Amino acid sequence: MTNNNIDKNEKNKNKKNAKVGEKFSPTLLHFIRRKWFDIWRGNPPGPVLLLFGLFVALIMSIPIIYVVWRSMFAGVDRWMRLLDERIPQLLWNTFSLTAAVTVCAVIIGVSLAWLVVRTDVPGRKLWQWLLALPLVIPPYVGAVTYIIIFGPSGWARDFWRDTPWLVNVFGDYPINIYTFWGVFFVLTMFTYPYVFLIASASLRKMNRNYEEVARSQGMTTLQVFWKVNLPFLRPAIGAGAILISLYVLSDFGAIAMLRYVTFTAAIYFQRAGFDTASATVLSLVLILLTVVILWIEARTRKKNKYYQTTNTYKKPDILPLGKWKPLILFYVIIVFFLSVVLPILVLVYWSIIGIGMGALDERFFGFAWNSLKVSGFAALLCMILAMPIIYLKSRYPSIISSAIDRLSYAGYALPGVIVALGFVFIFNNHIPMLYNTFYMVALAFVVRFLPQAMQAGEASLSLVSPRIDEAARSLGYPPWKVMIKVIIPSILPGVLAGGALVFVSSIKELPATLMLRPPGFDTLAVRIYFEASEAFYHLAAPPALLIILVSCIPLRYLLKKY
């Protein structure tokens, strides 16, 4: 065969392939385009908005990706050693504390909610917001105050020692705050408002018709509560219980102050000892525990659904307490005294001493400025990053937007030590220019608290009609420009409320700040931890009191919401 014939054959093959490509390419492109439109239900969001959402989801998934990846290469020997020696004890410590605090906080929260919403307890309107005040006191601050009162060199011990008849009758000072019961008491006193607020909102919306039917059947008030009120309260109880459980699982400050070792404390100390591989193994176990708790809560919520289907709504009755009124009022006052009054009095006392000794010096204001700077920057980032995600979820529902939304909530369910661990690895190895800067701390706060900004913004966005978006799109605006020019101005109050929540949560965050702060960059939370650990209470009290005062900012938003 001559060269000319070979060239002609090759040209004919190329022409045939080109014709096949011409037939195939439009079909393939049409198929891809159709599938893309099917995913977004015929309404794709545009590349700018989608890429921004995917970028945020990637940032939020950093801690989980890192922990899973590093724990896979931790080595069989390390896994077996931890499984034999550390993990069983840590599992028992963590599970027992979580279960005990959750059960007790639920009992206190539900009982207080029912008493102040449904009975004629004196000052019921006032109690509805006073009993929510423990939310503004970080548990590690509460731990400091109770160490001052009941610790080995605390006020209670001094009083016991100086009272001869107590020593003669009961012997040596009996209280040891550094035990399971000390941690249990402190965490319970400062987490019960999670249930109290949600249960109070449910009780206010409960329909009286069902109670009237139950009473017509001869049921007593107690029977009505167990058979009518409690079933309707189960969703609220479940929501509050899951918040408390996740908080106890992730808490580091109060646990470290009271010298009780759970997974979070063990992870922090392993990282401090530069045993990162062991820290990642423990982190993976803790993530699995969190997933199990979330799964149990989701299954329980599906099985226990109760609806108030009547068309007529009657406001719930206010029940008279009668002879029980003094005892009930005493119970309410005792809880409020232990969770709010006593800690505040201790902090005020030591703050006065500290101010007299010059605690409000240049260093103190430097710590305050560091806290305000990093928390304010984190709040600003959360407000910016939350908008594309909630806009995608609300206006462009799909599998992709749902996945982005769920990944955005991942950091909220993770302890701060795990988030910090992931950021140490990523920034140290891949983004060294930001390592050991306050920007890394702020980004960790974003991963931890972005869902707070999302929830507030989503609540506001749900009140804005999608027709406003459609009108803007009809004028030629792309989705991202609609969001910036039309939607954000409409929901700005909700966005700012979410930013305030993030700011307050960030200023209280301890473990992530401890692990990620650059040298010399101490915040108020860090100084409270170190000064209280060294028993310099006159230096720890003023920053603790300042954090509480700043934390009162979002309380009005929470009370309005619930």
Angle, alpha carbons 363-517-525 (nearest 5°)? 55
Assess contact for 213 and 259: CB atoms under 8 A: no
Query: 62-75 pLDDT, tens per residue?
Result: 777 777 777 777 67
Long-range contacts, stretch 13-17, CB < 8 angstroms, 24+ apart: none
Separation CA 51–CA 145 (nearest Å): 47
User: What is the full DSSP assignment across 267-293?
Assistant: HHHHHHTT-HHHHHHHHHHHHHHHHHH
CA 310, 311, 316, 317 torsion-angle sign = negative
Whether 30 maps to a domain, the answer reads no
In a domain, 146, yes or no: no
Of all residues in the chain, the percent with pLDDT exceeding 90 is 13
Together in a domain, 132 and 215? yes
Same domain flag for 410 and 508: yes
Does residue 68 sit in the same domain as residue 101? no
Q: Is the dihedral of CA 184, 186, 189, 193 positive or negative?
A: negative
* 550 and 435 fall within a common domain: yes
In-domain check, residue 161: no
Looking at the fold, whether 204 and 266 belong to one and the same domain comes out as yes
- Looking at the fold, whether 384 and 517 belong to one and the same domain comes out as yes
Predicted TM-score of the model (pTM): 0.79
Whether 313 maps to a domain, the answer reads: no
| Cβ–Cβ under 8 Å, residues 513 and 525 | yes
Is the confidence at residue 170, as pLDDT, over 80?
Answer: no
Q: Which residues pair with 319 in a beta bridge?
A: 119
Assess whether 74 and 223 both reside in one domain. no
Question: Within a domain: residue 334?
Answer: no
Task: Identify the CA nearest to 543 among candidates 67, 138, 80.
Answer: 138
The pLDDT assigned to 494 comes to 73
Q: Looking at the 3D structure of the chain, how many domains does it have?
A: 2
- Residue 530 has phi, psi (to 5 degrees) of -70, -40
In a domain, 342, yes or no: no
Give the span between the Cα atoms of 148 and 155, in whole angstroms. 7
Q: Are residues 372 and 263 in the same domain?
A: no
Residues 256 and 227 in one domain: yes
Tens-place pLDDT, residues 295-341: 776 666 655 554 454 555 566 677 787 888 889 899 999 999 999 99
Collapsed DSSP state (helix, strand, coil) of residue 119? strand
Comparing 368 with 202, the larger pLDDT belongs to 368
CATH code where residue 433 lies: 1.10.3720.10
pLDDT at 345 over 90: yes
The answer to whether residue 71 sits within a structural domain is yes
Same domain, 53 and 189: no
User: Is residue 66 in some structural domain?
Assistant: yes
Q: What pLDDT does residue 209 have?
A: 66
Quote the CA–CA distance of 89 and 533 in Å, as a whole number: 25
Better pLDDT: 50 or 113 = 113
Residue 260 C-beta-side C-alpha neighbours within 13 Å: 31
Residues 108 and 69 in one domain: no
At 378, the pLDDT band (50, 70, 90 cuts) reads: very high
Residue where a domain terminates, one of 250, 273, 307: 307
The domain of 488 spans: 45-85+353-562
Condensed to tens digits (0 to 9), the pLDDT of residues 392-406 reads: 777 777 777 777 777
Whether residue 410 sits in one domain with residue 283? no
